[in-house]
Each structure stands twice: as structure tokens, then as C-alpha cells.
């Protein structure tokens, strides 16, 4: 873009704008001025349009609807990010391997695979995680028996909202993940990835170095690899000395120590 087009010129950087209003808005990028304040939370913005978009968070207004699954968002940017779930578009690439991601935050988290950084530490067992969401899930699944998420169709209880959403699709037959190559749709993202690999040769298999078994995701491979090392059992029962390879095995075992029965 030619910064010299337009008759209203910024004295700081030389950029020219088409109107005095546009110039005034541009100047705020230099001054840091944020004249538009949210009346609910007092957050401030440089442009009125940004304040309007922000206000939808408080009002619950969601103008931007996905044409595939009808999910709605208060900002167009959030909708654009969501649509990559359906299209499979992954514009954010790792510069150290061939992995690509639909969100920049996911790419940044992935980089910790290469750096080994695990900044999130469990205060109960000192286990460390590369993502805060993994730490929270670890606490719910390993150190707690609470299941606050109730299925309105069958009454089954779940520890996480993600588990509940995945379960509800059994009742609704919803299949929000569509293949870009054919008309097939799937209820889960991992099923779509498996389909892309098997039917369209798209993606990368993760292969076990010991037995050559192949897996769709790196997490599946890591879980499988534990089976080759009997001494690696990171999930420890808080009630007895028993150890387990997976959180699911530990959850099942904890029922032995509890009178609670879950559906």
C-alpha cells in the first residue's frame, strides 16, 4: 500500500489518510490514546468499532454465525478462526517441523515440544505440563471425582464440558467435522483426521519406533509407548501405592476406594 496517497499526512510517520477522521484514528497508534471506554468493565479502545465489538461480550449478542454448524460469535475474527475446524485450514506452520495449526496460539504451544518447556506445575503431585488446559484437566481427572456436567438427554455425568459435548453428539447425531475432499462428515475431529489419512493420504502418521504401530496423533503414540516401558507409570493412586499408565486407568481404579457410583 502506498502510504503517500491521501491529503491528510501524519507528522510522526508520514502516512497519508483519506480523511481527517482517519488521520485522527491513526495518530492514536503513536500516542496510545484510547478514548472509547466500555461502560461495563472500563476497558478502553482506540476505535469506536472495537468498542462496539467488545460490548457484545457483555450483551451476549452474537451476530456472526457459522453456516456449517450454526455456532455464533460476537466477533468476526472468532468466527474466522472457528471455520477452520470445518475447512481444515492450518495457516500457522512450525518452523522446526512439518506441523501446521489452525490457531497461532496452538502453534506457540506446540513449540514447547521442541523446547521441552513445561511451565504449568500441579501443586498436588508436581507433574508439569506444557499447556494450562492440560494442567486443569489433569487436576479434574486425576485428583478429583467431581462430575459437574450433566447430559440433559440421559443424565450421564462428566468431568469436563468437552467430554459432555462429545457425548451429546451420540443423541443428536451431530457431525460438525466435514471432509474437504468428499461429502463425509464426522462427530469428532480425530475421526476426521483418521479419514483424511486413510482415504485421502493427507496428514502424517505417528509411528512407534519399537513395534512400528501407527497412530493418528502424537498423544496416542506417547500413550502407546508407555506400554513398552513397564516402569513408566506416571499416574499414582492417592489412596494406595498402585500406579497406572493412563489417567483413565487411575480413574477406574479410584472407584475401588469410593462408594460413589456414577452413571
* 110 and 74 inside one domain: yes
Q: Do both 110 and 76 map to the same domain?
A: yes
How many domains, the chain? 2
Rounded-to-integer distance, Cα 6 and Cα 239, Å:
73
- What CATH number does the domain containing 19 carry? 3.30.160.60
Indicate whether 199 belongs to any domain. no
CA distance 96 to 111: 8
pLDDT value of residue 2: 43
Report, as an integer, the average pLDDT of 185-189: 89
The answer on 31 and 73 residing in a single domain is: no
Could you tell me the three cell numbers for 98?
512439518
pTM for the full model? Answer: 0.39
221 falls in which pLDDT band (50, 70, 90)? confident
Q: Is residue 95 part of a domain?
A: yes
Cα–Cα distance measured from residue 124 to residue 253, given in angstroms and rounded to the nearest whole number: 19
Q: Is 217 within a domain?
A: no
Whether residue 141 is contained in a domain is answered as: no
Instruction: Indicate whether 104 belongs to any domain.
Output: yes
Looking at the domain assignment, is residue 231 inside a domain? no
Residue 148 lies in a domain: no
Q: What is each CA distance from 178 to 24, 64, 141, 182, in whole angstroms?
A: 45, 20, 30, 8
Q: 84 in a domain, yes or no? A: yes
Q: Which tens digits make up the pLDDT trace of 29-44?
A: 777 788 888 887 888 8
pLDDT tens digits, 148-186: 889 999 999 988 888 888 899 889 999 989 999 999 999
What are residue 72's DSSP bridge partners? Answer: 65
31 is in which domain, residue-wise?
Answer: 8-45
Same domain, 25 and 68: no
Task: Please give the residue that has the higher pLDDT: either 46 or 178.
Answer: 178
Amino acid at each position: 500500500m502506498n502510504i503517500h496517497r491521501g491529503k491528510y499526512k501524519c507528522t510522526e510517520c508520514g502516512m497519508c489518510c483519506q480523511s481527517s477522521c482517519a488521520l485522527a484514528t491513526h495518530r492514536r497508534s503513536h500516542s496510545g490514546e484510547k478514548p472509547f471506554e466500555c461502560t461495563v468493565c472500563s476497558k478502553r479502545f482506540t476505535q469506536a468499532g472495537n468498542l462496539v465489538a467488545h460490548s457484545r461480550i457483555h450483551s451476549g449478542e452474537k451476530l456472526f454465525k457459522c453456516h456449517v454448524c450454526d455456532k455464533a460469535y460476537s466477533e468476526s475474527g472468532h468466527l474466522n478462526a472457528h471455520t477452520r475446524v470445518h475447512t481444515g485450514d492450518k495457516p500457522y506452520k512450525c518452523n522446526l517441523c512439518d506441523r501446521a495449526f489452525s490457531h497461532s496460539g496452538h502453534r506457540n504451544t506446540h513449540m514447547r515440544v521442541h523446547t521441552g518447556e513445561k511451565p504449568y506445575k500441579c501443586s498436588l503431585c508436581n507433574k508439569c505440563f506444557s499447556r494450562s488446559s492440560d494442567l486443569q484437566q489433569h487436576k479434574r481427572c486425576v485428583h478429583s471425582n467431581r462430575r459437574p456436567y450433566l447430559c440433559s438427554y440421559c443424565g450421564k455425568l462428566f468431568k469436563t464440558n468437552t467430554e459432555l459435548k462429545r457425548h451429546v453428539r451420540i443423541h443428536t447425531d451431530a457431525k460438525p467435522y466435514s471432509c474437504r475432499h468428499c461429502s463425509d462428515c464426522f462427530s469428532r475431529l480425530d475421526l476426521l483426521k483418521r479419514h483424511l489419512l486413510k482415504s485421502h493420504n493427507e496428514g502424517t502418521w505417528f509411528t512407534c519406533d519399537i513395534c512400528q504401530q501407527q497412530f493418528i496423533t502424537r498423544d496416542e503414540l506417547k500413550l502407546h509407548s508407555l506400554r513398552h516401558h513397564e516402569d513408566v507409570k506416571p499416574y499414582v493412586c492417592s489412596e494406595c501405592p498402585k500406579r497406572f499408565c493412563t489417567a483413565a486407568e487411575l480413574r477406574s481404579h479410584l472407584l475401588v476406594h469410593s462408594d460413589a457410583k456414577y452413571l
